């Protein structure tokens, strides 16, 4: 499907033949993914687990990289203690008794790897037999602000109730330091919960540091940000079944250098998006209007590895509900149906323009661009102005340099930016 002819005809006069003021998307902006990532984790031969981690960690604990650990069942870090993990440590999640690591409110996780020696959480299955959802994931409950009437929340699922509470007024707390961490084959659904994702951050405070984290082959969301406020950097989601980044309950922050690599045949039945952002939880209500979820996303790449034979299986890159606010800058979206779709809470073009902004970015889609619920939807494409785009849908291999690399996918455009149209 092509962009509407009316759209093309209306902007032909706005094509810029010079790229003097355009962002240079041909530079290699993916260098941060080199060295510590793994795009073939199912083929990696990891050593067997040697020591099982206790299910209750009630005193400061240090995991060293000279031991391979087994995480089995629910492991709670409690009593305001700190779990510290040394760089290069390998932790294998049990698939028979699906594992979850839960950092309870007041406790802390310090997992600082390095480019040469990342910390790895992966499946306990043998190589070539691992699959999405083999084990649970990492859950961190903080004391930051949550946009609900009570200002708190409870993690859904069959968890110990005394350890499942999150939220509060400590918006500057430091609950976690995660650097150079990989989380593989997480997202188990056995607890019947939507909160068993790769990395779930509930009410996280601004003092936490989340930088260089990769979640691959998650059976649910890769990253879940529920309430709290933080600026996260260098987050990579690879072939998740559900959403790459699920953001809700008043989370606020700047998200810089996100990357999501999807496949058109890997999706959730309810729909999967690179960004699913929800302003507030309808069941819990909201604290106040200015506490709506609000994020700024910059220097990011959201790609579905689709081509002309399978692009019909893709959805929009972004789904926004319940008045959530999104600003997207200096980023790329490619291989999806539309850039974004908005629910009935976005009632008019003026409301949409206040809630969603996108500039100095690039998109390659096979739909019309923006999907809204209100009618008539005249002028809705106005929110995409000041961005470059392809006139017709382009397959991933023809658009980018080396998008399917097993070592470090590259998403530099093959053609110079002045080959693409600009909406203005």
Domain boundaries of the chain, sorted by first residue: 5-423
Q: What pLDDT was estimated at residue 52?
A: 98
Q: What is the predicted pLDDT for the residue at 30?
A: 84
Q: How far, in Å, CA of 93 to CA of 217, rounded?
A: 14
List the chain residues with pLDDT less than 50. 1-23
CA distances from 58 to 40, 122, 172, 234 (A): 36, 24, 24, 31
Prediction pTM value: 0.92
Tokens 């084990």 locate to 135
Per-residue pLDDT at 151: 82
CATH number of 5-423: 2.160.20
Reference 52, options 95, 89, 93; nearest CA is 93
- Give the per-residue pLDDT at 24: 57
Q: For residue 417, with 0-12 CB atoms within 10 Å meaning exposed, 13-18 middle and 19 or more buried, which class applies?
A: middle
**Contact between 106 and 203 (Cβ < 8 Å):** no
| pLDDT of the residue at 418 | 78
């Amino acid at each position: 499907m092509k962009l509407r002819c009316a759209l093309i005809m209306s902007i032909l006069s706005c094509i810029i033949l010079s790229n003097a003021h355009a962002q240079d998307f041909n530079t290699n902006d993916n260098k941060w993914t080199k060295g510590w990532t793994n795009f073939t984790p199912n083929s990696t031969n990891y050593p067997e687990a040697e020591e099982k981690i206790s299910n209750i960690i009630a005193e400061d604990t240090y995991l060293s990289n000279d031991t391979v650990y087994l995480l089995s069942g629910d492991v709670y870090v409690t009593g305001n203690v700190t779990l510290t993990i040394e760089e290069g440590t390998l932790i294998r999640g049990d698939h028979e008794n699906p594992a979850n690591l839960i950092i309870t409110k007041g406790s802390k996780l310090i997992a600082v790897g390095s480019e040469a020696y990342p910390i790895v959480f992966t499946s306990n299955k043998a190589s070539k037999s691992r699959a999405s959802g083999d084990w649970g994931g990492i859950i961190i409950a903080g004391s930051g602000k949550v946009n609900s009437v009570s200002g708190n929340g409870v993690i859904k699922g069959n968890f110990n109730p005394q350890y499942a509470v999150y939220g509060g007024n400590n918006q500057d707390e430091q609950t976690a330091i995660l650097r150079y961490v990989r989380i593989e084959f997480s997202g188990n659904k056995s607890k019947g919960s939507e909160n068993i994702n790769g990395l779930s951050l509930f009410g996280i405070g601004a003092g936490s540091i989340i930088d260089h984290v990769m979640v691959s082959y998650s059976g649910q969301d890769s990253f879940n940000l529920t309430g709290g406020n933080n600026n996260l950097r260098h987050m990579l989601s690879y072939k998740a079944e559900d959403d790459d980044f699920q953001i809700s309950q008043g989370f606020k922050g700047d998200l810089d250098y996100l990357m999501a690599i999807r496949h058109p045949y890997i999706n959730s039945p309810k729909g999967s998006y690179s960004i699913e952002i929800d302003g507030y939880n309808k069941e819990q209500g909201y604290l106040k209007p200015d506490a709506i979820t609000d994020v700024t996303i910059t220097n990011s790449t959201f790609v579905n590895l689709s081509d002309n034979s399978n692009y019909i299986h893709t959805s929009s890159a972004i789904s926004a509900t319940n008045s959530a606010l999104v600003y997207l800058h200096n980023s790329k979206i490619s291989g999806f149906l539309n850039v974004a779709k908005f629910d009935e809470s976005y009632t008019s073009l003026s409301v949409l323009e206040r809630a969603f902004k996108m500039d100095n970015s690039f998109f390659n889609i096979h739909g019309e661009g923006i999907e809204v619920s209100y009618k008539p939807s005249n002028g809705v494409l106005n929110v995409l102005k000041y961005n470059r785009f392809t006139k017709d849908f382009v397959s991933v291999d023809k658009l980018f340099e080396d998008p399917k690399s097993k070592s470090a996918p590259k998403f530099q455009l093959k053609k110079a930016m002045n080959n693409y149209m600009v909406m203005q």
